[in-house]
């Protein structure tokens, strides 16, 4: 079948991929665009990457191109670098027996592209594109499955999932991102083999999981992971959100799990969520199950702080970077502060909005509201207040520092930091405008503390 849309000629990556394929052909080898890029083109989606499949061996690939990097040479994969763009160029191969849920014992190269395709994961990813003719080569009925909206493994799902256990998670991602219904036999094996995901390194799990919650329909992705028994392995704490009631006047949408999934969907703009924000949205109410009380009404006292502690444990378990953990924790621990935004002193407000990544805090608050009561008045108040303060420095350099306090005769000690903080608050309030006024206020404050 010929591709029913024009190839992306103005796409720089596509042109570079075309150059690679032409070079391979000029040297007597076959070369095709393969996998996800072809799937996306057939679904009228602009591809981000262009992988290439060829009859050339890794050694031959390295001889043809000036800049290469062996990333999986023993498995027939070489990175070809064109103008600082990286392309995976893989040799047609036939995998032998798998023993570790990821790598074949041995790899045998082949000149037959069909053999290469039949070892891949899903039919929709098993398509090849001949750039000379715009023909889509389909050995596994991938085009038929795209048309029907079905996700199905190539061949026996148990074999495909056994070859690489991460494919179990990838099935959820592709199903969710492309709105594909998982075929019954494939579905059955995902459930049967969900425990096998523990054989996959936590880094690979994290990478796949992040793709699910930062892409299209992230809330639905969480539900699918739960339905197929994968969430209880990846982040079991999310399962604890199910059935946790919330006060109906604030949360008419349902329990904490339902709310969390809705928050993720509300965060998704242009079918993409920043990873730190997605994790913040996923975990913002993770402390609710353990803080649930019911007196005059349902309450979750200090759930944001309990949640921040849990968030750190979860993110460390998933091996996020220290910076990411700090930023995600901050989103969780601070998300309830918007409730007091109208009563904040100017200094407190300025400290709040001067936090790192405050734009992410605003986005989470908006999604939190839209996924529950729908009232955005506190968000509007915050944005208007920030606008009012646009001519004032939000986080100015402190007028008074430690050296100033020492010069006034105060010795460093337990109250030192507290005095500096109080002086800085007065500066943020606009009550101290210069160094002289700061020294005067500091002198009075020191006397008060000494008395």
In a domain, 168, yes or no: no
**Percentage of the chain with pLDDT > 90?**
72
For residues 223 and 347, membership in a common domain is answered with yes
pLDDT, tens digit, for every residue of 89-122?
Answer: 999 988 655 555 555 556 788 899 999 999 899 9
Last residue of a domain, one of 135, 154, 173: 154
- For residue 262, the enclosing domain spans 210-381
pTM, rounded to two decimals? 0.84
If you average pLDDT over residues 270-275, what whole number do you get?
88
The 3-class secondary structure across 231-279, one letter per residue, is HHHHCHHHHCCCCCCCCCCCCCCCCHHHHHHHHHHHHCECCECCHHHHH
**Percentage of the chain with pLDDT > 70?**
94
pLDDT score recorded for residue 129: 96
In a domain, 205, yes or no: no
In a domain, 393, yes or no: no
In a domain, 184, yes or no: no
For residues 87 and 214, membership in a common domain is answered with no
pLDDT, tens digit, for every residue of 301-325?
Answer: 999 999 999 999 999 999 999 999 9
pLDDT score recorded for residue 169: 96
Last residue of a domain, one of 154, 183, 202: 154
Given a cut of 80, whether residue 289 has pLDDT beyond it is: yes
For residues 269 and 370, membership in a common domain is answered with yes
How many domains, the chain?
Answer: 3
Selection from 382, 354, 385, 388 nearest residue 369 by Cα: 382
pLDDT score recorded for residue 405: 77
Given a cut of 80, whether residue 1 has pLDDT beyond it is: no
How far apart, in whole angstroms, are the C-alpha atoms of residue 142 and residue 139? 8
Tokens of 277: 């924000």
pLDDT, tens digit, for every residue of 360-416?
Answer: 999 999 999 999 999 999 999 999 999 988 777 666 777 778 777 778 777 777 677
């Amino acid at each position: 079948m010929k591709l029913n849309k024009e190839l992306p000629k103005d796409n720089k990556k596509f042109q570079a991929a075309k150059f690679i394929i032409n070079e391979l052909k000029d040297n007597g080898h076959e070369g095709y665009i393969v996998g996800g890029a072809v799937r996306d083109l057939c679904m009228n989606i602009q591809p981000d990457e262009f992988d290439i499949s060829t009859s050339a061996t890794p050694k031959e690939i390295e001889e043809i191109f000036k800049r290469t990097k062996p990333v999986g040479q023993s498995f027939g994969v070489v990175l070809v670098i064109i103008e600082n763009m990286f392309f995976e160029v893989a040799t047609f191969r036939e995998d032998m027996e798998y023993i570790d849920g990821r790598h074949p014992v041995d790899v045998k190269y082949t000149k037959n592209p069909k053999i290469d395709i039949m070892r891949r994961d899903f039919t929709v990813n098993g398509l090849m594109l001949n750039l000379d003719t715009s023909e889509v080569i389909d050995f596994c009925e991938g085009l038929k499955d795209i048309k029907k909206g079905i996700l199905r493994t190539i061949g026996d799902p148990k074999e495909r999932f056994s070859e690489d256990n991460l494919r179990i998670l990838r099935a959820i991602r592709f199903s969710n991102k492309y709105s594909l219904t998982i075929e019954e036999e494939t579905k059955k094996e995902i459930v049967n083999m969900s425990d096998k995901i523990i054989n996959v390194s936590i880094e690979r799990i994290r990478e796949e999981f992040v793709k699910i919650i930062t892409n299209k329909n992230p809330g639905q992705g969480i539900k699918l992971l739960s339905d197929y028994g994968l969430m209880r392995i990846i982040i079991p704490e999310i399962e604890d959100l199910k059935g946790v009631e919330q006060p109906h006047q604030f949360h008419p949408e349902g329990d904490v799990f339902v709310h969390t999934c809705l928050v993720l969907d509300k965060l998704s703009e242009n079918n993409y969520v920043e990873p730190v924000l997605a994790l913040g949205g996923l975990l913002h109410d993770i402390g609710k199950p353990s803080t649930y009380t019911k007196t005059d009404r349902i309450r979750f006292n200090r759930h944001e702080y309990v949640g921040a502690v849990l968030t750190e444990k979860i993110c460390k378990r998933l091996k996020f970077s220290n910076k990411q953990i700090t930023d995600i924790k901050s989103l969780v621990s601070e998300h309830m502060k918007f409730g007091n935004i109208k009563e904040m002193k100017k200094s407190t407000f300025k400290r709040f909005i001067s936090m790192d990544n405050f734009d992410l805090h605003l986005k989470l608050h908006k999604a939190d509201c839209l996924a529950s009561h729908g009232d955005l008045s506190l968000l509007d108040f915050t944005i208007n207040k920030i606008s009012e303060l646009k001519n004032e420095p939000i986080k100015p350099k402190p007028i008074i520092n430690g050296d100033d306090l020492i010069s006034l005769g105060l010795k460093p000690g337990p109250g030192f930091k507290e005095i500096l903080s109080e002086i800085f608050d007065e500066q943020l309030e606009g009550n101290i405008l210069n160094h002289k006024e700061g020294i005067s206020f500091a002198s009075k404050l020191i006397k008060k503390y000494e008395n």
